[in-house]
Amino acid sequence: MVIKILQIILAVFIGLGGIIKVLRIDFQVQHWQEYQYPMWFLTVTGIMEIIAAIAIIAGFWNRGLVLIGSSIIVVFMLGAIYTHLFRVHQPLNTIIPSTICLILSIILIVRYYNQ
């Protein structure tokens, strides 16, 4: 039951983040400009996050989809952590959301891989 709740939390958080990116909400565009990544990559990242969120929810019926969605999130969260700390040299507290999502993704991967 706890794993299912973690799935929902992760999927909602990542899915909302993806929607914000795809819609190019002002604050996200400003962040992306600060990161010096191209705007097309903002859209691609948002689409991939939405796909990952859908896969994690669909994982209630197909555990392979949880592994795919969580793996996508691991890659993107490692990229986010790198960007905050090394690309734009932001304070350590800026990686808290990315680190939480990374940890939740790893928990889901370990849990579903070992079933």
19-44 residue pLDDT tens: 999 999 999 999 999 999 999 999 99
| Contacts made by residues 36-39, CB under 8 angstroms, sequence distance 24+ | 36/87, 36/88, 37/83
Determine the average pLDDT of the residues in 79-106: 96
Q: Tell me what percent of the residues of the chain surpass a pLDDT of 70.
A: 100
Residues in the chain: 115
Domain spans in the chain, listed from the N-terminal domain onward = 2-113
- DSSP secondary structure string for all residues of the chain: -HHHHHHHHHHHHHHHHHHHHHTT-HHHHHHHHHHT--HHHHHHHHHHHHHHHHHHHHTTT-HHHHHHHHHHHHHHHHHHHHIIIIIS---GGGGHHHHHHHHHHHHHHHHHHT-
- pLDDT computed for residue 18 by the predictor: 98
pTM across the whole model: 0.93
Assess whether pLDDT exceeds 80 at residue 115: no
CA-to-CA dists, residue 2 to 81, 87, 99, angstroms? 26, 35, 19
